[in-house]
Amino acid sequence: MNFTIEHLKKNFEKKEVLRDISFTFEEGKIYGLLGRNGAGKTTLFNCINKDIRADGGTFFFEENGTRRETIPEDIGYVLSTPTVPEFLTGREFLKFFMDINRKYIVGNHSTDEYFDYISIAEEDRDKLMKDYSHGMKNKMQMLVNFIARPKLLLLDEPLTSLDVVVAEEMKEILRSMKGERITIFSTHILDLAVDLCDEIVLLSHGILDTVEKSDLDSAEFKDKIISALREESHA
């Protein structure tokens, strides 16, 4: 399965935020979408999630040579600021999502097994989520997106404001979730992208550009990306 974007455009008045986005993402990989602040990462996600209308271009899934349009259940979108219904407890939220996603759920896991998986302590599971910390809300948001098993998982800077322990736990969850789906992870933190992602894609001046994935961990690679972002932003 591939997810392809062709000539996607989005302007805000005369400002071309997405100029000509074309790219093919492959199943089973985590893509690090790197861009400077204001480069259009969230706009790209909002267009893919159909929260805003694109001004041009298309995007679609391609499976066994057949193209099809995206439908809402294909996409999981995790926002940087976690939003969970605060009048529900963690367990009730999970139960609700398990109820309405019955047909997509593989295996017969209990709510407690899911909570164990994302390391939410027993005493917190039956608390109203309005009393959850930022990190706990973020984990819940990630978990329900995982349960729905979307084919495309969009993560908009989800680890930026988490403490190191939670951030490491989240990375582990993401790595374990990456099979059978495409994960696009937007960030402006280079180290995070290098650490977690299989491929790095640069969004700069309204276009997407891949960076050769050899030697992802080397210092030269980081320098290469930074200079690429610099050059393009001053082009």
Partner 1 sequence: MLDALKNNVKLEVAYTVNGIIYALKQIPLVKKILPSKLYSCSGLKIFALIVMLFIRFVEVFLYKVLYIFPLIFIPVSTFNEIHGEANSSSFFLHILFFMTLIGTFINSNLFEASRHRYYAVILMRMNARDHTIAHYSVYLVKLVVGFLAILMIFGGLCGVPIWMRLVLPFGIAGCKLLYNTWTLYRFSRKNGDYDLKKSGQKVIALVVLAAAAYIPCLIGFPLPSYVTIALFGIAAIGGVFGYVYMTRYNLYRPIYQQTLTDSAVDRKDLALKTRKQNVEKSISADTNITSNKEGFEFLNDLFVKRHKKLLWKTTMFISAGCLAVAAIMFVIILAFPDSRSTFKSVPLKGLPYLTFIMYFLNRGTGITQALFMNCDHSLLTYSVYKQRSNILKLFRIRLREIIKINIVPALIIGVSLAVMLALCGGSGDPLDYIILLISVPCISIFFSVHYLTIYYLLQPFNAGTEMKSGMYTFITSATYFACYMLMQCRFPTHIFGLITIIFSLLYCVIACLLVYRFAPKSFRIRN
Give contact residues for partner 1 (rule: CB under 8 A).
Answer: 13-14, 46, 49, 51-52, 71-77, 79, 83-88, 92, 95-97, 99-101, 126, 128, 130, 144-145, 148, 150
The residue among 46 and 187 lying less far from partner 1, judged by its C-beta, is 46
**Cα 54 from Cα 67, distance rounded (Å):** 19
CB of 138 to partner 1, least distance (A): 13
CB 9 within 8 Å of CB 56: yes
The residue among 94 and 229 lying less far from partner 1, judged by its C-beta, is 94
CB of 193 to partner 1, least distance (A): 23
CB of 100 to partner 1, least distance (A): 5
The residue among 53 and 65 lying less far from partner 1, judged by its C-beta, is 53
CB of 34 to partner 1, least distance (A): 23
The residue among 68 and 130 lying less far from partner 1, judged by its C-beta, is 130
How many CB atoms within 10 Å of residue 222? 15
> What DSSP line would sit under 168-213, residue for residue?
HHHHHHHHHH-TTSEEEEEES-HHHHHHH-SEEEEEETTEEEEE--
How many CB atoms within 10 Å of residue 52? 14
**Cα 208 from Cα 83, distance rounded (Å):** 28
H-type helices in the chain, by residue range?
Answer: 41-48, 90-100, 111-117, 134-147, 164-177, 190-196, 219-233
CB of 54 to partner 1, least distance (A): 13
The residue among 136 and 229 lying less far from partner 1, judged by its C-beta, is 136
